[in-house]
A = this chain, B = another copy of it.
Amino acid sequence: MPSAYSSQLLDNAVGQFARLPGIGRKTALRLVLHILRQDPAEVRMFTDAISTLRSDIRYCRCCHNLSDTDLCEICANPRRDARTLCVVESVRDVMAIEATHQYNGVYHVLGGVISPMDGIGPDDLNIDSLESRISAGNADEVILALSTTLEGDTTNYYIYRRLAPYNVKITTIARGVAVGDELEYADEVTLGRSIMNRVPFNGTNT
């Protein structure tokens, strides 16, 4: 097949970039031409960062978060409250919660939610290891922070049942009208939850 450009090397590199999600061939070409204008040393830094990432990154043996080491920075940090465990779907959720700087506990990354439609059952998720952490008496509270979809709710309930035999408090994150949002534009379910789960007002915590 003749190449779309005058060079197979170019065509190949564009094709590889275009396989990334959200990157079309035009964007891919722009990125590749940018790379061609860079120093070989800079390009090597780029490719090295990617190869090293793929080959050297690990999943924390305790919480399954992405980590450079056997035990991730969060689990290994003695200043974190290791007895509060937040259960999330993915490493992106860990990043999102960390970015709030409001949480000082540790995590447990499930790696997804139970979804029979996609063929994902409890055994495909890190639920056994969650139960092990709890059964070993390593936590006082498990915070469920999964998405409020059918799959998320199913998973929440499944985990709730699995952890029921153990003496651990199970909570779920608060749902409600987002800070700064107007009430009239909030959906009914969210607004309903906001009212149901109202909290004492101390003069400032609106």
Residues of A whose CB lies within 8 Å of any CB of B are 3, 5-10, 12-13, 15-17, 19-23, 27, 29-36, 38, 40, 43-47, 49-57, 60, 65-68, 72-74, 91-92, 94-95, 98
Contact = CB atoms under 8 A, between A and B. Distances in A.
A66 B36 contact: yes
A105 to B, nearest CB: 14
Contact of A72 (B6, B20, B21, B47): B6
A126 to B, nearest CB: 16
A181 B62 CA distance: 62
Contact of A5 (B6, B45, B52, B95): B95
Given A16-B50, A32-B53, A49-B13, A74 B43 contact: no
Contacts of A55: 40
A9 B40 CA distance: 21
A79 to B, nearest CB: 13
Q: Which of A45, A54, A67, A91 has the most CB of B within 10 A?
A: A54
Q: Which of A33, A50, A74 has the most CB of B within 10 A?
A: A50
B43 A54 contact: yes
30 contacts: A5-B95, A6-B60, A6-B66, A6-B74, A6-B91, A7-B68, A8-B68, A9-B49, A9-B56, A9-B57, A10-B53, A10-B66, A12-B53, A13-B53, A16-B46, A16-B49, A16-B50, A19-B46, A20-B31, A21-B30, A21-B31, A21-B34, A29-B95, A32-B50, A33-B91, A35-B53, A40-B55, A44-B51, A46-B50, A47-B47
Contacts of A8: 68
